[in-house]
Structure 1
Amino acid sequence: MEIKIQKEDLKKIILILINKLEISAEDSFVLDEDLYWNILDEELYDPYKDPKNLTMGSLADDWAFLQNVVEGNRGMIDYDLVKIAAILKFLAKKNLNSEL
């Protein structure tokens, strides 16, 4: 199955989230957990086999990695999307939409 996502549609979704953040009463969000299971890319999209090579990810490490972009120490790379996705997934689990 192949799904084509239009760049403009993806941009709209991201902008909607940014606008929700802008009007939120929250100035910060707490990462009160750190470690999470990570499935390797080779196994992530193969639902017919159980993943065998689970690794650990760290929200704290992910955030520290992304801070290098925020602080201007490096430009954004594709892998930053993986890091921000882990943080957004955690925040979604915390039901932050009710706060936004």
Structure 2
Amino acid sequence: MKNTIEIEKEDLKKILLLLMNKLDASNHNTFVLDQDLYWNVLDEELYHTYKDPKDLTMESLTDDWQFLQNVLNGKREMIDDDLYKLSSILRFLGKQ
């Protein structure tokens, strides 16, 4: 069964803003990534939930953050793939 939802850009922006406000209200000025490597399911397999993924890749939070730092430092432009990198870091921090 295929479900389709549409997400309004403005709603997504509101959620991100609420998350940023929560981040600003926290007592933390820094966050520790005390783990580095994580499993990544390839896009082609990620949403095929009735089949076990066959091609897992190993990714690095450190590498993800370094790529994002290059955007902040103006060393490169942001690309769509950076959302994956940021989401991996946010997912890790969400478990903290």
TM range (shorter): over 0.9
* Structure 1 stretches lacking a partner, 5+ long: 95-100
Partner of 2:18: 16
Q: Structure 1: which 4+ aligned runs deviate by more than 2 Å?
A: none
Partner of 1:81: 83
> Which structure exhibits the higher relative contact order, with contacts defined as CA atoms closer than 8 Å and separated by 6 or more residues?
1
Identity %: 65
Aligned residues: 94
Deviations 1:28-84 (A, max 9, x none): 000000000000000001011110000101000000011011111111110000000
* Structure 2 stretches lacking a partner, 5+ long: none
Q: Within 2, Cα distance between the matches of 1:29 and 1:44?
A: 28
Q: Within 2, Cα distance between the matches of 1:13 and 1:76?
A: 21
Aligned partner (choices 48, 72, 86) of residue 50 of structure 2 = 48
